[in-house]
Amino acid sequence: MNLFNLPEGVSEPEFVTALRELNKAVHSTGHMDAGYTLFRVRQAQIEETPPIGRDYVMIGHWATQSVYDEVHQSAAYIAAGETLGPIFEALDETRMYSRYEQLSVGGPGEG
């Protein structure tokens, strides 16, 4: 999960277009349930709670570590990533990144 602000000089439409291309590359590997989703903060849910200071959340979806590895080593993903490379490097100034594992609680898609 990545929490970030867009770097100066990168527009939201530009980032969305590049991420769509990256997802097309992911899907070209045959893993249609893998890839990235992107969220933009719409409003603070609780006004008294201070915001985290990041306007976007990007989540990578990978069924297993081997799927992650396969996709990230594919020629299509590497080529698409070259477009996003400079953007991701610029994101490093504001990006907060953590890897999470899902715990089964009976939510959507778990049953």
Detail the DSSP E strand segments found in the chain: 2-4, 35-40, 56-61, 96-97
- From residue 82, alpha-carbon distances to 53, 77, 85 in Å are 28, 9, 5
Each residue's pLDDT tens digit, 75-87: 999 999 888 888 8
| CB-CB neighbours of 25 under 10 Å | 20
Indicate whether 41 pLDDT > 90: no
What's the burial of 38, exposed, middle or buried (CB within 10 Å: 0-12/13-18/19+)? middle
Note the pLDDT of residue 91: 82
Note the pLDDT of residue 44: 63
